[in-house]
A = this chain, B = another copy of it.
Amino acid sequence: MKTDPNIEDFASSNNPVVRKFNEYLDSHGLRRTTERYAILNRIMGINGHFTIEELQQLIEGDGFRVSRSTVYNTVELLMDARMLRRHVFEGMQAQYERITLPHTHLICTTCGKVKEVRDTNFAAFMNARRFNAFNTDHYSLYVYGTCSTCARKLKRTRQAVKDKDEKNKKR
């Protein structure tokens, strides 16, 4: 085993996420490797979305070296264990996030930032919703638009163009 006291502590902790992962590994005859816990441990510290690249860099920033293949492999397991979800928003590379309570994703098409918002009305609507000849497992709502920061910047740019036009007209 690659030794790392922090990760060993995490792996043997009573953290419900660790327990869930253990159950998944055990029930599938998979092994409890240090790499898997190091990755899970890092993911637990991330709020929001991350790419594979970012995840690996964070892990290595912790001073733990894992190969790209292992990151992919573990992320795959976590998805299978229903602990992680993969999202591909329009025009962006795949991003992952821990599965928590259902929420809506607001994606700014200008800066690419993704914000999660809870929407109890929508959740209630979906809970009640039944589709013909289809058994729902889970769902994702992606809302694309412009965040307030980008809206402000765009407004400023437009104003600047307008000002310039005005100036040119006067000449």
Contact = CB atoms under 8 A, between A and B. Distances in A.
A145 B137 contact: yes
A163 interface: no
**For chain A, what secondary structure do more than half of its interface residues adopt (helix, strand, loop), or is it mixed?**
strand
A136 interface: yes
Number of chain copies forming the complex: 2
A135 interface: yes
Interface in A125-171: 125, 129, 131-148, 151
A129 B121 CA distance: 10
Contacts of A77: none
Nearest to A133: B148
Contact of A146 (B117, B125, B129, B137): B137
A20 interface: no
Given A86-B90, A88-B88, A140-B141, A135 B151 contact: yes
A104 B129 CA distance: 12
A72 interface: no
B131 A106 contact: yes
A125 B135 contact: no
Name the 3 nearest CB pairs between A and B, nearest first. Answer: A88-B88, A133-B148, A136-B145
Contacts of A146: 134-135, 137
A149 B64 CA distance: 46
Contacts of A88: 88, 94
